[in-house]
Amino acid sequence: MQDEERYMTLKVQFKKRNSVRTSQLKHQDCSVMLHWYKILLGISGTVNAILVLTLVTLILLDSS
């Protein structure tokens, strides 16, 4: 009976430690993904700005 109690206690402690590690990993994964989303958003904004400037330039050159 005591062996079963020890086993259950160790099992619960192991699960708690694993859940803390898992939540820390999930938090780190989210922050890494957020960082990459910000980079991609900046790149796509820059590309869109270049395309808009090109379009405006072509319209102005065509109307001259």
d(CA 10, CA 4): 10
SS3 content of the chain, % helix, strand, coil (to 5): 95, 0, 5
In the chain, the amino acid numbered 54 is T
Query: What pLDDT is attached to residue 44?
Result: 98
d(CA 51, CA 45): 10
Query: What pLDDT is attached to residue 25?
Result: 62
- List the pLDDT tens digit at each of the 64 positions of the chain: 556 666 556 565 555 565 656 666 666 777 888 888 999 999 999 999 999 999 999 999 998 7
